[in-house]
Amino acid sequence: MSLKSKITQNRPLLKKLTIVAWVFFILGVIGLPTYIWAVSSNMNNWFGELPSYSQLENPDLNLTSTLYTSDGLQLGSGYFRDNRNPVTYDQLGDNLVNALTAAEDFRFERHSGIDLPSMFRVAFGVLTFNRKGGGSTISQQLAKQLFSTRVITEDKKGKLEGRNKYLDELIYKTKEWVLSVRLERSYTKQEIMAMYYNTVEFGNNAFGIKSAAKTYFNKLPSALTVSEAAVLAGMQKGVTTYRPDINPNASKRRRNVVMNQMVKYDFLSQEAYDTLKVPDIELSLKQQDQNTGLAQYFREVARVDLRELCKELGYDLYADGLKIFTTIDSRMQTYAEQATDSAMSKLQALFDKKLTEEDRSLWIDSKGRPIRDFLEDKVLSKSSAYRNLVKQYGEDSDSVDYYMNKPKNLTVFSWQGEIDTVMSTVDSVKYYKQFLQSGFLASDPKTGAIKAWVGGINFNYFKYDHVRSGGRQPGSLFKPFVYATAVEQGYSPCYVFKDEAVSIDIPDQDEPWSPQNAEGRFSGKEMTLKQAMANSVNSITARVMDIVKPEKVVDMTKRLGIKSRIPPYYSIALGTENATLHELIGAYGAFANKGVHIEPYYVSRIEDRFGNVIYNEPPRKSRAISEDVAYVMLNMLQETVKSGSGRGLNYTYQLVDGKQEKNEIGAKTGTTQNASDGWFMAVTKDLVAGAWVGGDDRAIHFSSWIDGQGARTAMPIVGLFMQKVYADSTIGIERSFFDRPADLNREIDCQKFADIVSPSDSTIIYDDEIYQPK
């Protein structure tokens, strides 16, 4: 058969092939671009919206906002919805870059978002039912993660979406192709690699490579070994399946696959692989939450404050990746926590021993008598467990009592470590109430910057912050405000009063005010005002209050920064009204700061994710008292350490008379009448530190006032803290002296005070009037 005849015979077939070729040509050259254009432009709203170019340049990620100490350390895991701390490409390290490139996209540096050979391989595998591996590039995976291309919301849903799973798959893939190309045009390869690692999830509430490296290996990303990098890069094939903490064998196999790929593409030698593939994965698992790490109480208080502050500034604390620089010093915070743990563990042992020896109720009144039904009426009825049971079964139901007393397995706190035990809810509530609590705060009086904050004994088990939340009676810690009022009105700390019974008639009150001393007796001795304050003599403090009047004392407290309500009652002289440790630190700081009160603060500045400062408010300060009055008060407070209830700062902790140098410290103890609250405050030129100790309920206290006084409960925390601070030369706080005003207008050395006024036989000039002591 001739060639012509063959052509004539096969003409129908050639015609069909030509038509098919033209169809493929038209589809490939015209149809495919048209289809991609239609998807990218969401023609007729068939395909759903794609992110705008502005969204592409500023992808909306939930970024972790991070706290930093004044000495540059990160505090905790930050505040987040997704625990995500972004890093730059330079912070990744070669091991992570090589591991991901080998495992997911070895032509990453050569393509422009779409890897055509991989696409054809996948297409061929689908047609031959022999699919091996995916065809998505790192850029495509990033597009999928950033913009949730496979999550259909009603407001962004296209008309063709959600009807057929195969059509949906095609549309999703097309969107990812378009977005990956746009990403490649908007960002460098290095930026895309960093964005990928910052975007993906690694389980255990770790989002992004920095959180993952910290969670699984307690390292920075750049410090990860080849093996560790392979573990994290390999997890992207299936986060749960290859999590090393819950599926170690699967994770090891996947790690070795990644390292084998690194050998294949010349990122790793065969010899190194043969060595690295054998060992099991060694984790240093560090869960990222607020119950671990330094300054847990502080971080929670700061979270509440910062949430509102950021809202006012127009930012989201949990999503905008803010950098919050605090005044907390990590070294001083560590010492504060160590001092609290050391002092409180010993005090708790003593408290438990006394309870056992005295065989008494945990809840007692001021005379040591048990308070009947306190547990049932005041404690259990307020517990969340009780309220939930009442809501479920009704208040009179037997089920409430049954479940409250039903034993169950619990892990409880103890100073010797966590204990696994069996307890009922009633027993566990009573067990936890037996623990004494504490609060500690230290700040720089010259700036108001808070340096250390300890809100309790263990944040994991006791969430309540005892530094700023609520308030307790300060007892004798309030007395310096009474004496400061007297000094401001012209009184010298060398004036002599007699410790004897006092009875003061108060207007509109039937009975006179006749306070007792803590010891329950009066010594009859004459003593100066500074001695009376140093030894917390109630009778003389009452006399001074009668001279200066309560209204003047209340005014003094307001100027010194006490915001708690203090009514103008005579009894406030003995510290009967609540105040917080936070307020008291600021007030005592004014004495050391030459009479200027500065509101204690902890945020120095806040930066957005790009490093722009968005908050840098100066501390609030005001003149509270004159420099002379402030210095006289410091002199009086030093007497507490020399001869008063704070002598232990010198004798026990050697903070005043050191081996090589001396130091000036003012201090004051505070103890409420039944010893339910113990306080101690110490003031130096560069540091003011204070502590409170007591039970959660005021009915929980030592039966003896001697055992529960602030000098025994709270002073050890302050003393240990200051010992550690002075011993650490890197902090820069040294032993020093207060600055005496050049023209101090009164004599404070009582040995030189020639004109001592005795209230028993002399008159005192007071507010231009003659005051005759009673």
> Which of the four pLDDT bands, split at 50, 70 and 90, describes residue 622?
very high
Distances, alpha carbon 561 to alpha carbons 243, 487, 604, in Å: 52, 18, 20
Mean pLDDT over residues 676-692, rounded?
97
Q: What is the pLDDT of residue 291?
A: 67
First and final C-alpha spacing in the chain: 145
Q: Which residue has the higher pLDDT, 9 or 337?
A: 337
Q: What are the structure tokens assigned to 268, written together? A: 């790793």
**Segment 572-610, tens digit of pLDDT:** 999 999 999 999 999 999 999 999 999 999 999 999 988
- CB contact burial 324-355 (16+ within 10 A = b; e otherwise): bbbbbbbbbbebbbebbbebbeebbeebeeee
Q: What is the pLDDT of residue 82?
A: 73
How much is the mean pLDDT over the chain?
84
**Which pLDDT score is estimated for 159?**
46
Task: Report domain extents, the chain.
Answer: 3-41, 65-81+291-337+438-471+578-741, 82-289, 363-433, 475-577+749-774
CATH architecture of the domain with residue range 475-577+749-774: 3-Layer(aba) Sandwich (3.40)
Neighbouring residues of 40: CB distance < 8 A, sequence distance ≥ 6: 50, 178
- What is the radius of gyration, based on Cα positions, of the chain? 36
- Which residues lie below 8 Å from residue 524, measured CB to CB, with a gap of 6+? 498, 499, 500
| 679 vs 34: CA distance, rounded Å | 78
Q: What is the pLDDT of residue 769?
A: 32
pLDDT tier, 122 (very low <50, low <70, confident <90, very high otherwise): very low
Pairwise CA distance, residues 178 & 197, whole Å: 21
Q: What is the SS3 assignment for 312?
A: helix
Q: Which of 78-87, 172-181, 519-528 has the lowest mean pLDDT?
A: 172-181
Per-residue pLDDT averaged across 330-348, rounded? 97
Burial status of residue 256 (CB atoms within 10 A of its CB: 0-12, 13-18, 19 or more):
middle
Q: Is the pLDDT of residue 103 over 90?
A: no
What integer is the mean pLDDT of 174-180? 70
The C-alpha atoms of residue 73 and residue 293 are separated, in whole angstroms, by 12
Buried b (16+ CB within 10 A) or exposed e, 685-711: bbbbbbbbbbbbbbbbbbbebebbbbb
Distance CA 720, CA 335 (A): 8
What is the phi/psi pair of residue 74, to 5°?
Answer: -75, 135
Q: Is it the case that residue 761 has pLDDT exceeding 60?
A: no
Q: Do 675 and 705 meet the contact criterion of CB atoms below 8 Å apart?
A: yes
Name the percent of the chain in helix, strand, coil, to the closest 5.
Answer: 45, 15, 40
CA-nearest of 346, 339, 366, 343 to 702 is 366
Fold of 65-81+291-337+438-471+578-741: Beta-lactamase (3.40.710)
CA angle 345, 351, 354 (to 5 degrees): 145
Mean pLDDT of all residues in 280-308: 86
Residue range 363-396, pLDDT digits in tens: 998 778 899 888 888 888 888 888 888 888 888 8
Sign of the CA dihedral 601, 71, 299, 699?
Answer: negative
Does residue 448 have a pLDDT over 90? yes
pLDDT at 63: 81
3-state SS assignment for residue 510: coil
Alpha-carbon gap, residue 10 to 291, rounded angstroms? 81
Helix count (H) and strand count (E) of the chain?
29, 18
And the tokens for 716? Answer: 């050890």
> Does residue 27 carry a pLDDT above 60?
no
What is the three-class DSSP state of 443?
strand
List pLDDT tens digits, range 693-750.
999 999 999 998 899 999 999 999 999 999 999 999 999 999 999 999 988 877 788 8
The helix or strand, by DSSP H or E, that contains position 226, with its residue range, turns out to be helix 226-234
pLDDT at position 538, please? 95
The pLDDT of 121-125, averaged and rounded, is 46
Angle at Cα 550 formed by Cα 544 and Cα 553, nearest 5°?
Answer: 80
Residue 307 burial class via C-beta count within 10 angstroms: exposed 0-12, middle 13-18, buried 19 and up: middle
Which three-class secondary structure state does DSSP give residue 106?
coil
Q: Would you state the structure tokens that stand for residue 45, as one six-digit string? A: 């709203």
Domain 82-289 in CATH 3.40.50.300: no
Q: Are 638 and 664 in contact (CB under 8 A)?
A: yes
Domains 65-81+291-337+438-471+578-741 and 475-577+749-774 share a fold: yes
pLDDT at 762: 36
pLDDT interval class at 182 (50, 70, 90): confident
Confidence at residue 660, expressed as pLDDT on a 0 to 100 scale:
62
With contact defined as beta carbons under 8 Å apart, do 97 and 320 qualify?
Answer: no
Residue 771: band (very low, low, confident or very high) from pLDDT cuts 50, 70, 90: very low
Q: How do beta strands 419-423 and 408-412 pair?
A: antiparallel
Give the C-alpha distances (Å, rounded to integers) separating 75 from 70, 115, 438.
Answer: 10, 42, 22
Alpha-carbon distance of 210 to 224, in angstroms, equals 11
DSSP conformation class of 437: E
| Mean pLDDT of the region 319-333 | 95
pLDDT score at 24: 57
pLDDT of residue 699: 92
Nearest to 156 by CA among 56, 46, 57: 46
**Which ranges constitute the DSSP H helices of 277-396?**
296-313, 330-358, 374, 384-393
pLDDT at position 258 is 94
Question: What pLDDT is attached to residue 667?
Answer: 96
At 761, list the tokens: 């036989």
Q: Kindly state the tokens that stand for 294.
A: 């330094």
pLDDT tier for residue 539 given thresholds of 50, 70 and 90: very high
Give the model confidence (pLDDT) of 461-506 as tens digits. 999 999 998 799 999 999 999 999 999 999 999 999 999 999 999 8
